[in-house]
Structure 1
Amino acid sequence: MARVITNLLILAMLTLTSILKAQDTQKKPCSEIEYSQFNFWIGEWNVYDTKDKLIGTSKVLKQHNACALQENWTSASSSSKGTSYSFYKKGDTTWNQVWVDNSGGSLFLKGEFTGNQMILSSEFKEGKNGEFCDRITWTKKSDGSVTQVWDRVATDGSVIQQAFKGIYKKKE
């Protein structure tokens, strides 16, 4: 009888050890390298125009529980505020962003990380001067800053209008 109990205890311990080891080897959600491609934008930023005038602040946080980045933008010269969520979609290997501001405006963007740039675009829509899409490019600079350019782009790829250009510099 003691032998049976000893064998059962050994079997139980081996089973428990196997279960614990299997749990340790499972990947954490969103641990693949693609999920970290936009991490260069994480931080607390002062945002300047091309003449080095402060135009706003931005706080970009990694949302570990949602595998996403959350940006909170505040304009320095108006009451404009907005929030975006950026996330990597493994199913179609794209980056996506949803932006909503306090005036009711919204953007839905999709794209990819290439080199040192995240390039996201909306679908084309009809404007008063023809079809266009919104394309936003974030470029990681060697000094740690990030340049964000928001262009309105025609169907032929030409830039119709630059809606925004901001240079993100980390707060000290």
Structure 2
Amino acid sequence: MKKLLLICIAIASFTLTAQQSKCKCCTENHQAFDFWVGTWKVTNPDGTFAGNNTITKIEDDCVLRENWTSAKAKYTGTSYNFYNAQKKQWEQIWIDNQGASLHLKGDRVGNQMILMSDELTSPKGQKYVNRVTWTLNKNGSVRQHWETSNDQKTWKTAFDGLYVKVK
């Protein structure tokens, strides 16, 4: 009888441990931006070198961390990208070595991740929003198109980069 009780306790303990260790961020929503993971060479539309970018999964695959190094002026930045299950949306928090930060929110639509900022105010007092779209191309490259708008009808390109995997 004692052996049976010990076996039941062992099975219950194993089941509880297995349930607790289940991956919290292994849902389809959490993996929607995985196409951006990798080490990338980034070029401008004219083919000139824009910089290098490395995107890795961290925090038990719950967060994508971006480490950007620009080809110009020792400009670097880091972003943290994650699926916010409570708000049912993707979020990016960008911080760079110039003291700037940007918070974007959105979701994946087809082969694109589309994130936008809330309305911001420029130093000159002008209202605007940022929209960044990452498009997964058929050949595995990724286009990042960052735009700004004062009215959300007309958009100006702030950055347009083509990502090609290095590794």
Report what 1:57 is aligned to.
Answer: 52
Cα distance in 2, alignment partners of residues 129 and 53 from structure 1: 34
Q: Which runs of 5+ in 2 are unaligned?
A: none
Question: Could you list the runs of 4 or more consecutive aligned residues of structure 1 that deviate by over 4 angstroms after TM superposition?
Answer: none
Report what 2:84 is aligned to.
Answer: 89
RMSD: 1.6
Matched, 1:11 2:9: no
Q: TM-score, normalised by structure 2?
A: 0.92
Tell me the secondary structure at the aligned position of residue 33 of structure 1. Answer: coil
Deviations 1:119-164 (CA, angstroms, capped at 9, x unpaired)? 11111123347421011110000000000011002334321x2110
Give matches, 1:93-104, under 5 Å: 93-104=88-99
Equivalent of residue 23 in structure 2, options 17, 25, 28: 28
Q: Is the 8 A contact 2:90 2:105 kept in 1?
A: yes
Aligned length: 165
Q: Which runs of 5+ in 1 are unaligned?
A: 1-6
Give the superposition deviation at 1:9.
2.0
Report what 1:112 is aligned to.
Answer: 107
Taking only the aligned residue pairs, the percentage that are identical comes to: 36
Structure having the larger proportion of residues in helix: 1
Cα distance in 2, alignment partners of residues 156 and 73 from structure 1: 27
Highest Rg: 1 or 2?
1
